[in-house]
């Protein structure tokens, strides 16, 4: 059976967290529908409770309320170039199959590292991937800690970071950057055609096509 998510949560807290995720995601999806239809079209519909439960059973971890709430609204992105939603690198939301693949790879890598050095920690069982460079390129991405609710990231080296930021806070920040781009710091929203692209892009070719969104 899947391990329990963050301890100490109550039904009331779960309802509040789900509502906050819903409100933040609605702001993001509304903006995409109006201004970046290609990125909006890349979003998958929400997953059913049975689909989420099947994922949790396959990996042996129960997802935290915030992540389950997001998956009920949007179960990842399609594997298309316009799928980048999450800054700073424009990462795509992972579908549930990609979540399972990424999680299993990280856990297998943790076991390999632990055989060499039992004290080595590169991945905790409670870390659940939710977005990556793309649905198929999982070398960079972000996760939610099912025990603490904190988000973090990984790259293609051994670097893993944990931040004092919840998934709700992350999505609210994305919505704020889209709605109030002049106040945004770091990567800013922009468009290439009908796709959301956080930038300015690193490549000269993309930078030449990129139009910053100013509201």
DSSP of 53-105: HHHHHHHTBPPPHHHHHHHHH---B-SSGGG--BTTTTBEEPPHHHHHHHHHH
Quickly tell me which residue has 């099912």 as its tokens: 146
DSSP-derived letter for residue 47 is: P
CATH number for the domain spanning 81: value is 3.40.1580.10
Output the CA–CA distances (angstroms, integers) from residue 186 to 65, 81, 100, 210, in the order listed. Answer: 28, 22, 30, 16
Does residue 3 sit within a domain? no
Does residue 6 sit within a domain? no
Radius of gyration of the chain (CA): 17
Chain centre to alpha carbon of residue 25: 12
- What is the pTM (predicted TM-score) of this model? 0.92
CA proximity to 101, closest of 133, 67, 138: 138
Do residues 166 and 150 touch, judged by C-beta distance below 8 A?
A: yes
H/E stretch holding 150 reads: strand 150-154
Q: pLDDT (tens digit, 9 = 90+) per residue, 138-168?
A: 999 999 999 999 999 999 887 789 998 999 9
CA distance linking residue 129 with residue 107, whole number of Å? 11
Pairing of strands 150-154, 160-166: antiparallel
Chain centre to alpha carbon of residue 86: 7
Does residue 87 sit within a domain? yes
Average per-residue pLDDT for the chain? 93
Region 200-206: mean pLDDT is: 91
Do residues 102 and 142 touch, judged by C-beta distance below 8 A?
A: no
pLDDT band at 3 (very low <50, low <70, confident <90, very high): low
pLDDT band at 8 (very low <50, low <70, confident <90, very high): low
Q: pLDDT (tens digit, 9 = 90+) per residue, 43-65?
A: 999 999 999 999 999 999 999 99
Neighbour count for residue 170 (Cβ, 10 Å)? 20
Do residues 87 and 174 touch, judged by C-beta distance below 8 A?
A: yes
Does residue 4 sit within a domain? no
- Residue percentage of the chain with pLDDT more than 90: 82
Does residue 146 sit within a domain? yes
Query: Which residues span the domain enclosing 103?
Result: 11-212
pLDDT band at 119 (very low <50, low <70, confident <90, very high): confident
CA proximity to 55, closest of 98, 6, 108: 98
Number of domains in the chain: 1
CA proximity to 128, closest of 212, 197, 68, 74: 68
CA distance linking residue 38 with residue 127, whole number of Å? 30
Does residue 1 sit within a domain? no
pLDDT band at 1 (very low <50, low <70, confident <90, very high): very low
Residue 7 confidence (pLDDT) above 70: no
Q: pLDDT (tens digit, 9 = 90+) per residue, 95-105?
A: 999 999 999 99
Does residue 5 sit within a domain? no
pLDDT band at 2 (very low <50, low <70, confident <90, very high): low
Does residue 150 sit within a domain? yes
């Amino acid at each position: 059976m899947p391990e329990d998510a963050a301890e100490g949560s109550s039904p009331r807290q779960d309802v509040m967290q789900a509502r906050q995720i819903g409100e933040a995601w609605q702001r993001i999806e509304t903006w995409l529908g109006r201004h970046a239809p290609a990125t909006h079209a890349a979003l998958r519909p929400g997953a059913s409770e049975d689909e989420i439960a099947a994922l949790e059973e396959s990996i042996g971890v129960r997802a935290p309320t915030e992540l389950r709430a997001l998956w009920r609204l949007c179960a990842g992105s399609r594997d298309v170039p316009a799928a980048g939603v999450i800054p700073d690198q424009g990462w795509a939301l992972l579908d549930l199959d990609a979540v399972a693949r990424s999680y299993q790879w990280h856990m297998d890598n943790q076991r390999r590292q632990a055989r060499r050095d039992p004290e080595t920690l590169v991945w905790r069982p409670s870390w659940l991937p939710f977005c990556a460079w793309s649905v198929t390129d999982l070398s960079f991405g972000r996760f939610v800690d099912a025990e603490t609710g904190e988000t973090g990231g990984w790259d293609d080296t051994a670097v893993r970071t944990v931040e004092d930021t919840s998934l709700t806070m992350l999505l609210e920040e994305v919505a704020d950057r889209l709605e109030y781009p002049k106040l945004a710091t770091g990567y800013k929203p922009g468009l290439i055609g009908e796709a959301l692209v956080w930038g300015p892009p690193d490549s000269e070719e993309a930078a030449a096509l990129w139009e910053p969104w100013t509201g």
